């Protein structure tokens, strides 16, 4: 009986939503509107994904991002000219994000876009927060997995951490670069000042904002066209701009963080070795501000502007998504209640049995806790 009551309740919700005018979606959609609606629908699926699914996608995303980073570090070995180095890095690194886009996986930066779904009441805020944290956890573990493998493949036993012609040297250089003024102080045995910490935190925060303005935009450009070639080219050039600029991406930086942990005690580009304190500095003055900055750029700035650009069409899309969600829940309940079965991969409903069951359903009366009592 409980299943039948739920079915009736869900059907009532569908009937209410059916009264909402969604004809705005029937007209021509511009490239930007297709992109905005596609990103909204994608975010809706990510928010509704299960715990295990989200963790596994996060792991895969972290692994792929790390692979892109590893390939890029190999590609820039021996290059000292900053501009050329950044361009080559930018050409190679997007491989990781392209793998995520077309092969599978998820990353924290693109999951941030779902904030607008939750903030506007079109998705469960708790599920958004839960899956956002889970995807980052999966990313973090995936980066650790990649870091351990490459450490023992290319760093362990190689006394080349100060040689830019080696992978180990480029990695050490990147570790120092990621913690800015703090890295310089640690490398030369100097005391880390409050100014060093403040500057590094602010740099990472602001860089993180710009990072996810660009990276989150790749979720939108994925859906602006039905042509995979067009999507790949657009994603590539957006990511190229991000990489050349050197903005702080918390997931990519997580790979370097784990390399920092694994390379403790090795020689830095200075007079000192990489100390244990560098781990705390990296977490507190790179990962944390990048995490916040990525959220601000990819959850607040881009999605909010995009939402208001195509507000009516996004709302209509949300209505359709809710109707589809209720319809799928009804089918599941019909199967559980024995009103339907799967025959040769087809959903077959016993309409007579179902109609008889719901005709006798009386919905429970909702309690009104704050009804003002009237005096006789």
Start-to-end Cα distance in the chain? 39
The per-residue b/e assignment along 346-374, b for 16 or more CB within 10 angstroms, e otherwise, is eeeeeeeebeebeeeeeeeeeeeeeeeee
* Interatomic CA distance for residues 276 and 260, integer angstroms: 9
Domains of the chain: 29-332 (1.20.1080.10)
232-258 per-position pLDDT tens digit = 888 889 888 988 888 999 999 999 999
Task: Look at residue 367 in the predicted model and tell me its pLDDT.
Answer: 56
Say which DSSP state 342 is in: E
Instruction: Please classify residue 204 by burial: count the beta carbons closer than 10 Å to its beta carbon, then call 0-12 exposed, 13-18 middle and 19+ buried.
Output: buried
What is this structure's pTM? 0.85
30-54 per-position pLDDT tens digit = 878 888 888 898 999 999 999 999 9
Task: Look at residue 139 in the predicted model and tell me its pLDDT.
Answer: 97
| CB distance 118 to 252 below 8 Å | no
- Report residue 365's pLDDT band, with 50, 70 and 90 as the boundaries: low
Going from the C-alpha of 89 to that of each of 74, 92, 213, the distances in angstroms are 9, 5, 19
Lowest mean pLDDT among 177-191, 304-318, 343-357: 343-357
Q: What is the mean pLDDT of residues 318-330?
A: 85
- Quote the distance between the C-alpha of residue 342 and its chain's center: 35
Q: What is the mean pLDDT of residues 327-346?
A: 84
């Amino acid at each position: 009986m409980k299943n039948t009551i739920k079915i009736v309740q869900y059907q009532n919700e569908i009937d209410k939503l059916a009264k909402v005018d969604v004809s705005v979606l029937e007209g021509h959609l511009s490239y930007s509107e297709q992109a905005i609606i596609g990103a909204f629908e994608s975010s809706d699926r990510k928010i509704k994904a299960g715990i295990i699914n989200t963790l596994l996608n996060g792991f895969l995303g972290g692994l792929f991002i790390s692979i892109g980073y590893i390939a890029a570090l190999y590609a820039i070995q021996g290059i000292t000219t900053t501009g050329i180095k950044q361009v080559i890095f930018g050409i190679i690194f997007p491989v990781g994000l392209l793998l995520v886009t077309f092969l599978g996986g998820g990353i924290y930066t693109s999951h941030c876009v779902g904030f607008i779904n939750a903030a506007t009441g079109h998705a469960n805020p708790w599920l958004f927060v839960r899956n956002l944290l889970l995807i980052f956890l999966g990313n973090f573990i995936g980066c650790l997995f990649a870091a351990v493998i490459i450490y023992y493949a290319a760093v362990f036993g190689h006394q080349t951490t100060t040689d830019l012609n080696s992978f180990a040297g480029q990695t050490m250089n990147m570790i120092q670069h990621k913690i800015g003024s703090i890295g310089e102080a640690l490398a030369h045995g100097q005391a880390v000042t409050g100014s060093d910490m403040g500057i590094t935190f602010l740099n990472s925060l602001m860089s993180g904002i710009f990072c996810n303005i660009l990276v989150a935009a790749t979720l939108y450009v994925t859906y602006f066209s039905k042509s995979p070639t067009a999507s790949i080219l657009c994603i590539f050039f957006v990511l190229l701009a991000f990489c050349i600029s050197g903005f702080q991406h918390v997931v990519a930086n997580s790979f370097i963080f784990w390399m920092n942990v694994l390379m403790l005690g090795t020689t830095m580009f200075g007079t000192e070795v990489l100390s244990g304190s560098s781990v705390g500095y990296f977490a507190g003055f790179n990962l944390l501000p990048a995490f916040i900055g990525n959220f601000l750029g990819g959850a607040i700035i881009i999605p909010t502007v995009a939402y208001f650009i195509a507000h009516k069409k996004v709302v209509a899309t949300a209505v359709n998504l809710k109707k589809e969600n209720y319809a799928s829940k009804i089918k599941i309940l019909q199967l559980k209640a024995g009103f339907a079965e799967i025959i040769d991969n087809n959903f077959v409903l016993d309409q007579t049995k179902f109609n008889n069951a719901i005709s006798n359903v009386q919905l429970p009366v909702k309690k009104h806790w704050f009804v003002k009592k009237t005096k006789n």
